[in-house]
């Protein structure tokens, strides 16, 4: 990936399914790749097309049960813990997919358990 980025590939370029390299790295719980992509400027608030229903990087982490380290890196990079997309907040996403460890991580990091839908910008 570092070689591709060095050859001019955009860090937030999307694949056929609207997924960025950051999203794919999160799905695979690849901490080193997440760190590299964030260092290269990957946008944690990037939202893709209809295939992702407005979710952002932290929603993907919650859905796939990413490690605490991945979640903390995303938050440190500006991911909002309580931002709702069409699929709900990251907390709601983790609950819906039965990722109890992720639910606990988000609670530890003080995510709102019943966050308001702020997808309209309010």
CA atoms within 13 A of residue 81's CA, in its CB half-sphere:
19
Domain membership flag for residue 116: no
Domain membership flag for residue 117: no
Domain membership flag for residue 113: no
* Boundaries of domain holding 101: 2-108
How many other C-beta atoms can be found within 10 angstroms of the C-beta atom of residue 115? Answer: 17
Write out pLDDT tens, residues 35-84: 999 999 999 988 865 555 678 899 999 999 999 999 999 999 999 988 88
Domain membership flag for residue 119: no
What are the residues facing 88 on neighbouring strands? 85
- Residues 109 and 75: beta-carbon distance below 8 Å: yes
Q: Please give the torsion angle defined by the CA atoms of residues 64, 65, 70 and 73, in that order, rounded to the nearest 10 degrees.
A: 90
Domain membership flag for residue 90: yes
Domain membership flag for residue 73: yes
Ranges 1-5, 6-10, 18-22, 91-95: which has the least confidence: 1-5
Domain membership flag for residue 115: no
CATH of the domain at 20: 1.25.40.20
Number of domains in the chain: 1
Q: What is the pTM of this model?
A: 0.81
Task: Report how far residue 43's alpha carbon sits from residue 37's, in angstroms, rounded to the nearest whole number.
Answer: 9
Which residues 6+ apart lie within 8 Å of 80 measured at CB? 45, 56, 58
Domain membership flag for residue 16: yes
Write out pLDDT tens, residues 14-27: 888 778 899 999 99
Q: Higher model confidence: residue 101 or residue 9?
A: 101
């Amino acid at each position: 990936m570092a070689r591709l980025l060095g050859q001019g590939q955009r860090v937030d370029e999307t694949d056929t399914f609207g997924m960025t390299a950051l999203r794919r790295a999160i799905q695979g719980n690849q901490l080193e790749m997440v760190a590299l992509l964030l260092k290269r400027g990957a946008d944690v608030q990037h939202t893709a097309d209809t295939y992702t229903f407005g979710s952002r990087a932290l929603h993907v982490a919650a859905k796939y049960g990413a490690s605490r380290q991945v979640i903390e890196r995303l938050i440190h990079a500006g991911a909002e813990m309580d931002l709702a997309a069409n699929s709900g907040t990251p907390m709601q996403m983790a609950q819906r997919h039965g990722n109890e460890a992720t639910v606990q991580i988000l609670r530890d990091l003080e995510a709102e358990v019943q966050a308001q839908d702020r997808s309209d910008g309010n």
